[in-house]
Amino acid sequence: MAKVYLIGAGPGDPGLLTLKARDVLASADVVVYDALANASFLDYARPDAEKIYVGKIADQHAMSQWQINQLLVDKAREGKDVARLKGGDPYIFGRGGEEAQELLKAGVDFEEIPGISSSIAAPAYAGIPLTHRDFSSSVTIVTGHENPDKAKSAIDWPALARSASTLVFLMGMKNLPDIARRLVEAGMDPATPAALVYRGTTPFQRSLVSTIADLPAAAVREKFTNPSVIVVGAVCTLHDELGWFEKKPLLGRRIVVTRARAQASGLAASLTALGAAVIQCPTIRIEPLADLAPLDRAIAGLADYQWVVFTSVNGVKVFWDSLRRKGLDARALHACKVCAIGPATARELEERGIYPDFVPAKYVAEGVIEGLTKQGGLKGTRFLLPRAAKAREILPEELRKAGAEVDVVPVYETVPACDGKDELLQALAAGGLDCVTFGSSSTVENFLAIVSADELKRHPEIKLAAIGPVTAKTLAKHGLPCDVMPEEYTIPALVQALVDTYN
């Protein structure tokens, strides 16, 4: 039987989505979603799932609430499982209870999957525990959306003012002056600590602590707007001591990752963990060559090679796929020594049971030549290089100069891609980019097909980061500077170089 799942997407940090929510999203036939703090959650949905936006922001409503209710019922009656994705928690000022009642009335099976509410998460990320033995033993969550012109408020302001409870107001920035006034008029000490947390748990989080009397003026002065959580109570004094999220070294920096999506996860995750707002715009896609017969022949003759040199993670993956197709495994390399250019390539081999005999100190072709030469004479030594279809020729040329016999076997190619192009161009137009990272020359060339070199030159505030000197030279070829380049040509070193640049 079809079912509707009312799912809480949490406050914005993608790591706060629950495992159950992720799994339901991955299996649902239809995803009905609000204006989410993190739209990347939609990536968990099936590629063929129907995705319907029903967000309501201020006066811009994609659908009315009754239309949303009817949509959920209709899709379920079509026999489709529906993931109704809502920001925060569906039952905390999310109208999830109303939707559940309508589903029940229509005879539609439903399930509620709780999410982490911004009322809890935003203060926590700002270093404000809502309860603390020294300050408060209870929490009151209040809507800040109530019309201040109502003849009689539904909120018991005197009770809130008298309580020792921590108060959390959601959706209250428009009414902040009225909220502060009502609390003080109801007897709250004007010096009671109060705080604002803007876009809590996201890379754009900001917070401030003041007093309930001064908070409205401080909000105007510091330009705080919605979405902000309002916290009132003595626990706000812990902000400076316990605040951790806003100390992240790349907080709020908008950084573009241009690597192929399959390769970008490590870089994107590292930058996100340091507080950056990552825009993934893969400018290349890695594809195995249509004709892998040359690789199959090389694998059949592995016993004739003394060395196999893997220049990239992609080369390792395609090589192993070919091994598996032939019913082989790591034992096929028993007669060969193995070289890996770079620690990422080495790790990829180690996961397959091969510990490289040589990893050069410098992760470029020149480093391979220097290191192999020190290990002994290369004359007459046979090398196999499974690599990209288009690559620098310096490695095979220098090996041959040293007397080695080299078989270069192309196994994959990089083809242009432009995923994330719209988000990139919107951020560029809004003047919201801090840095673009490039992991290879091909990412540079393909990125410049989306954003021209002349356009980038008009934005000197955008730093360009290259993984190494070869990529930096490609930037220079187009008259562009390389503002950031690590001494070690690895992703972790590139991340550290960005941290050093912005701190």
Range 394-403 burial, b when 16+ CB lie within 10 A, else e = ebbebbeeee
Catalogue the E-assigned strands of 241-372: 254-257, 277-280, 284-288, 307-310, 337-340
From the list 272, 253, 309, 370, the residue with the least C-alpha distance to 14 is 272
Report strand pairing: 56-57 vs 60-61: antiparallel
Integer-rounded Cα radius of gyration of the chain? 28
Catalogue the E-assigned strands of 187-334: 193-198, 206-211, 228-232, 254-257, 277-280, 284-288, 307-310
C-beta separation of 110 from 100 below 8 A? yes
The answer for residues whose C-beta is within 8 angstroms of residue 250's C-beta and 6 or more apart is 271, 274, 275, 276, 498, 499, 502
What does the alpha-carbon distance between residue 127 and residue 207 come to, in Å, rounded to a whole number? Answer: 10
For residue 8, the surrounding DSSP H or E stretch is strand 3-8
Secondary structure class of 315 (helix, strand, coil) = helix
C-alpha of 202 from chain center = 11
Q: Which residues are catalytic?
A: 34, 56, 171
Complete DSSP assignment for 106-161: TT-EEEEE----HHHHHHHHTT--S-BTTTBS-EEEEES-S-TT-SS-SS-HHHHH
From the list 313, 317, 319, the residue with the least C-alpha distance to 336 is 319
* Vertex 56: Cα angle to 50 and 59 (nearest 5): 140
* Vertex 177: Cα angle to 171 and 178 (nearest 5): 80
